[in-house]
Chains A and B, each alone.
Chain A
């Protein structure tokens, strides 16, 4: 019952794509405005360090360059998440090949928020961020898509290349880990 479509949003996305293909550049701007923040949030949850804006931009450029490959089988946002995730992984592989240390460790995902430490004074928020830090990268990825973006397990499975069942398990394990940390 969690696979609830968003027909209106998706139809709007498809309409905007059609308009952009017809030469309406404002349609591209609208699409960016609709999805850029969500993509940024997602790549931040994956541990993108300092290059979130660049990564989001690359995601959109890549997506629009291959827009004919988007068949509407998933939502545009899910497709963007998939592209962003691949870009980030490719970038990490490339950096790793150059011998730089980019191991994604526990806590990397939240480092994007670190610059906001001075702004975020709320103890509860800080505690929740620490709880998120303790999740495994996969748990964090799935949990972010489920809680922050509201994706269904099917959409999460499409975005991260796993199964619905595995996505569900990761979500509940993450939830349990966060509860345990908050209760301590």
Chain B
């Protein structure tokens, strides 16, 4: 059995078999089949194959229909909702853990600083910027540790409140508290961090000195 070179028509033969062609196209395909031996033979083969495949065990439609339960509107399971709930739970648990850890860290720093500067009469005993650790530059940062914070000392009468004398040490504040600081408080915090230069440094620069220098001039090696 040879194949008709008109692939488009051959493609439509099953549709012709099932009467699924629009009228105009059906006339076109039927006309071709009538004049083409190959397509006529193929169409006859398709019809026989369809008859062969139509032989299937009889299905009990009554039993099948009886097995179908009555309609019940399916309650939509909102996976988005479950995911959101899970995400919120995870964030809450993680946030609590971080808060606890930060609180413990704050307590540790507090104790350390109190021990390291026991004789400094300051209203903020936990301040890292105790006089013993500060670098006397002469203004700004050095003025801060020597006296309790006061808005007027910084030449600003802005309503920005100064840190409470009895507040937690600013250096050990929880991550969430950083967002609550005013500009002035942030400035103080930066000053305090700068004053830590006297402490053993663990920055990258000093660590890199322990390693052999990386030669950028490969050609000489």
Contacts and interface: CB of A to CB of B under 8 A. Distances in A.
Given A32-B65, A61-B69, A147 B46 contact: yes
Interface in B41-70: 42, 45-46, 48-57, 59-65, 67-70
Given A128-B49, A150-B18, A179-B1, A112 B73 contact: no
A68 B45 contact: no
Contact of A45 (B14, B53, B57): B53
A56 B49 contact: no
Contacts of A113: 55-56
A44 interface: yes
Contact of A29 (B15, B49, B51, B65): B65
Nearest to B51: A125
A88 interface: no
A60 B71 contact: no
B68 A61 contact: yes
B215 interface: no
B11 A53 contact: no
B49 A60 contact: no
Given A4-B22, A147-B17, A53 B69 contact: no
B89 interface: no
Given A61-B67, A125-B48, A148 B54 contact: yes
Interface residues of B, number: 41
B139 interface: no
Given A178-B45, A182-B1, A29 B12 contact: no
Contacts of B70: 23, 25
Contact of B56 (A33, A37, A57, A172): A37
A182 B45 contact: yes
Interface in A124-152: 124-125, 128-129, 132, 144, 146-150, 152
| Majority SS at the chain B contact face | helix
Output the residue of B21, B22, B45, B57 with the most chain A CB within 10 A. B57
B3 A176 contact: yes
Interface in B1-54: 1, 3, 8, 10-12, 14-15, 17-18, 20-22, 25, 42, 45-46, 48-54
Contact of B61 (A4, A33, A149): A33
Contact of B55 (A33, A56, A120, A182): A120
B64 A36 contact: yes
B12 A1 contact: yes
B74 interface: yes
Interface string A17-58: 000110101001100110011011100110000001100110
B58 to A, nearest CB: 8
Interface residues on A, range: 35 or more
9 contacts: A2-B14, A2-B15, A28-B65, A37-B56, A60-B68, A61-B69, A64-B68, A125-B52, A147-B14
Among all A-B residue pairs, the 8 with the closest Cβ atoms? A150-B18, A29-B65, A148-B53, A32-B65, A128-B52, A57-B64, A4-B20, A179-B1
Interface of B: 1, 3, 8, 10-12, 14-15, 17-18, 20-22, 25, 42, 45-46, 48-57, 59-65, 67-71, 73-74
Interface of A: 1-2, 4, 6, 20-21, 23, 25, 28-29, 32-33, 36-37, 39-41, 44-45, 52-53, 56-57, 60-61, 64-69, 112-113, 115-116, 120, 124-125, 128-129, 132, 144, 146-150, 152, 168, 171-172, 175-176, 178-179, 182-183
Given A113-B55, A171-B14, 20 more contacts: A20-B71, A21-B71, A23-B71, A28-B65, A32-B61, A32-B65, A36-B61, A40-B59, A41-B54, A60-B67, A61-B68, A65-B69, A125-B51, A146-B14, A147-B53, A150-B15, A150-B17, A150-B20, A178-B49, A179-B42
